[in-house]
Amino acid sequence: MEVKRTKGVLKRIAGPVVTAVNLDAHMYDVVKVGDEQLMGEVIKIKGEDIIIQVYEDTSGIKPGEPVENTGLSLSVELGPGLLTSIYDGIQRPLEVLVEKMGNFIERGVTAPGLSHDKKWEFKPVKKAGDMVTPGTIIGEVQETNIVHKIMIPPYCDAGKIKDIKSGSFTIDEIVCTLDNGAEIAMMHKWPVRIPRPVTEKLNPDIPLITGQRILDGLFPVAKGGTAAIPGPFGSGKTVTQQALAKWSDAEIVVYIGCGERGNEMTEVLTEFPELEDPKTGRPLMERTVLIANTSNMPVAAREASVYTGITIAEYFRDMGYDVSLMADSTSRWAEAMREISSRLEEMPGEEGYPAYLAARLSEFYERAGRVNTLNKDFGSVTVIGAVSPPGGDFSEPVTQNTLRIVKCFWALDAKLSQRRHFPAINWLNSYSLYLDTLSQYYDENVSPEWNPLRTWAMEVLQKEAELQEIVQLVGSDALPDEEQVTIEVARMLREIFLQQNAFDPVDTYCDMTKQFDILKAIRFYSDQAYAALKAGVITSQITGLKAKNDLPQIKYVKEYKPEIERIVKTMESEFTKLREAA
């Protein structure tokens, strides 16, 4: 059907959902609503009624005002200028909005996602006569310290380059023409609700190094994998998400603040430009795209923000980068769906969520992955979604539907955060299904001892959980000697290895070598302790060993190697003395 009547009229307004008539439209067409031309999207067609969700506040809009169909679906602008940007849910740059309408978000203001005036230095990597196909990289722009690769848009036909330029251009100027008549600029648009095509999806077998001991050490996520962080409020979801955004070894980070707190977004906005990327030493902001749609910004834009974010992530993946995407929080996204669904008077599913909740969640997470791009490079999008279960109840629909899809589960625990055990990730409930696929990587890149060491640590922690049940009944003194040592070792694992201070300048990031060294030192103590027990040393002397008390301090020391060697040596000599005395 061709869109004939592009102008209709409003019939009904009830919150963010409005109805228009005398309009031809397709699903998900972007429309301009009312005299103020508020942006909206068609979400339902019912006879003559076209039902639209509006991305801006609809107060004061009247029936009879015009509605115009743009005939396009909601798209984002992809090209140089994305990095360091901060957008709302529909890719309007917040900085530009401040210039246009002041400190508060007013409505009816449009702002393109990218600057159309700024010139970028385009360096071609292909030449006239070269054959190109969709996704082929034809040139490069030094955007920040990241090289932005210009691709033939996926919707273009293959052809031969007729002419390719070099020099300074805006994103709209044609830099390349093909023999089939296609004209390529540095920017292209892509509809957010459609995944960008790839050649092939691959198995994720490289870990995303996060610098967080409990994640890298016990529950690693792969590059191109999916992970969920569910937890009640106050258990440290946002701190964990932000730590990941800061320290994960992805080349590009897309951070979606979806229905979260304004002040927290500000924290990100002020902190990221100041923080350094541990790998490159450049400001973290240079590799970051932020999407901030706070809880009081329009709910429909919140629904769209997640798609805007993942489309940008896929775009960088297509250049051959490893991208990590943090969505904080997917529960707010689900609630936006619920809110809009209830305004549509749809039949609700579980707890008022729409019946298509599970489908939408899985579609979203399925856009993650390690891929062979159209240009035959390797790229990945890792998706880490925070979930905010009401009342901390993991049986609610959003958590449950998320768990069915993701491979990595980092269960935050309010009990742990109350005793200031951070990150408050429960080591008994969490899991990672990537351990097997990643084990080869650890053997080759960390140490062949790593995998057994990890298994050992998990066993000790599991054993402790069982023993704690007994301790709860009879007290720790009633345990046999050997098990008292186990409890002590587990305590060290918890306090030294698992606890990590995100606010300490050194401890906030812990590389794999340091993680390995710490774990090895604890293992050393453990082995020595059991040996000492056998030699007849009494338990209190073992658990009271002086040198091990220095171990926690290692976390706060940057050049820790000499110190940890000293501690291990002192432990050894203390144990020797104890054994000799016994």
Partner 1 sequence: MKEYRTITQVAGPLVFVEKTEPVGYQELVNLVLADGSEKRGQVLDTSDDIVVVQVFETTTGIGKDTGVRFTGETIKMPVGKDMLGRILSGAGKPKDGGPDIVPEKRLEITGAAINPWARGSPRQFIQTGISTIDLTNTLVRGQKLPIFSGSGLPHNEIALQIARQAKVPGSDEQFAVVFAAMGITKEEENQFMAEFERTGALEHAVVFLNLADDPAVERIITPRLALTTAEYLAFELDYHVLVILTDMTNYCEALRQIGAAREEVPGRRGYPGYMYTDLASLYERAGIIKGKKGSVTQLSILTMPGDDITHPIPDLSGYITEGQIVVNRDLHRKGIYPPINVLPSLSRLMNLGIGKGFTREDHKKVSDQLYAGYAEGVDLRGLVAIVGKDALSERDRGFLEFAEMFENRFVRQGKDEDRTIEESLDLGWDLLKDIPEEQLVRIDRELIQKYHPKYRKKAE
Contact set for partner 1, span 88-107 (CB under 8 A)? 94-95, 97-98, 102-106
Q: Map the footprint of partner 1 across residues 178-217, applying CB under 8 A.
A: none
Site string for partner 1, 279-318 (x = CB under 8 A): -------------x-xxxx-x-------------------
Candidates 116-124, 180-188, 411-419, 569-577 — which segment interacts with partner 1 by CB under 8 A?
411-419
| Cis amide bond preceding 207, omega within 30 | no
566's enclosing H/E stretch is helix 561-581
The reply on whether position 388 binds partner 1 by CB under 8 A is yes
Nearer to partner 1, 170 or 543 (CB): 543
For the four alpha carbons of 571, 576, 580 and 582, in that order, the dihedral sign comes to positive
The reply on whether position 473 binds partner 1 by CB under 8 A is yes
Q: Map the footprint of partner 1 across residues 317-336, applying CB under 8 A.
A: 332, 335-336
Site string for partner 1, 114-153 (x = CB under 8 A): ----------------------------------------
Q: Under a CB-based contact definition with an 8 Å cutoff, are residues 299 and 283 in contact?
A: no
| Residue 182 to residue 159: CA distance in whole angstroms | 9
Pair of tokens at residue 434: 């990537």
Q: What is the 3-state secondary structure (H, E, C) of 357-380?
A: HHHHHHHHHCCCEEEECCCCCEEE
Nearer to partner 1, 94 or 323 (CB): 94
Which residues make Cβ contacts (< 8 Å) with residue 473, sequence separation at least 6?
A: none
**Closest distance to partner 1 from the beta carbon of 59 (Å):** 4
| Residue 403 to residue 391: CA distance in whole angstroms | 17
Candidates 203-211, 280-288, 363-371, 476-484 — which segment interacts with partner 1 by CB under 8 A?
476-484
Chosen residue from 134, 165, 170, 233 binding partner 1 by CB under 8 A? 233
The reply on whether position 349 binds partner 1 by CB under 8 A is no
Nearer to partner 1, 372 or 400 (CB): 400
Query: Is residue 497 exposed (0-12), middle (13-18) or buried (19+ Cβ within 10 Å)?
Result: buried
**Closest distance to partner 1 from the beta carbon of 243 (Å):** 13
Among candidates 457, 512, 511, which has minimal Cα distance to 486?
A: 457
Angle, CA 549 vertex, CA 543 and CA 550 arms, to 5° = 150
Place of tokens 């338990």: 539
Which amino acid makes up residue 428?
A: L
Q: Under a CB-based contact definition with an 8 Å cutoff, are residues 20 and 8 in contact?
A: yes
**Closest distance to partner 1 from the beta carbon of 381 (Å):** 24
Query: Is residue 562 exposed (0-12), middle (13-18) or buried (19+ Cβ within 10 Å)?
Result: exposed
**Closest distance to partner 1 from the beta carbon of 75 (Å):** 23
Q: Map the footprint of partner 1 across residues 29-58, applying CB under 8 A.
A: 57-58
Place of tokens 């590059």: 223
Angle, CA 398 vertex, CA 359 and CA 87 arms, to 5° = 80
Chosen residue from 133, 170, 280, 342 binding partner 1 by CB under 8 A? 342
Q: Map the footprint of partner 1 across residues 533-562, applying CB under 8 A.
A: 549, 552-553, 556
Chosen residue from 390, 448, 452, 536 binding partner 1 by CB under 8 A? 390
**Closest distance to partner 1 from the beta carbon of 232 (Å):** 8
The reply on whether position 508 binds partner 1 by CB under 8 A is no
Chosen residue from 7, 118, 404, 420 binding partner 1 by CB under 8 A? 420
- From residue 315, how far is each of 151, 187, 188, 380 by CA, in Å? 10, 11, 10, 10
Which amino acid makes up residue 86?
A: I
Chosen residue from 4, 181, 474, 558 binding partner 1 by CB under 8 A? 474
Residue 277 DSSP class: P
**Closest distance to partner 1 from the beta carbon of 307 (Å):** 19
Site size with partner 1, rule: CB under 8 A: 81
**Closest distance to partner 1 from the beta carbon of 134 (Å):** 35
The reply on whether position 395 binds partner 1 by CB under 8 A is no
Chosen residue from 63, 129, 273, 536 binding partner 1 by CB under 8 A? 63
Candidates 125-133, 151-159, 181-189, 385-393 — which segment interacts with partner 1 by CB under 8 A?
385-393
Q: Map the footprint of partner 1 across residues 237-266, applying CB under 8 A.
A: 238, 257, 259, 261-266
Site string for partner 1, 151-170 (x = CB under 8 A): --------------------
Nearer to partner 1, 318 or 396 (CB): 396
**Closest distance to partner 1 from the beta carbon of 332 (Å):** 7
- Cite the beta strand spans of 143-266 per DSSP E: 147-151, 159-164, 167-169, 174-178, 183-185, 188-191, 200-202, 226-230, 252-258
User: β-strand 288-293 against 252-258: which pairing, if any?
Assistant: parallel
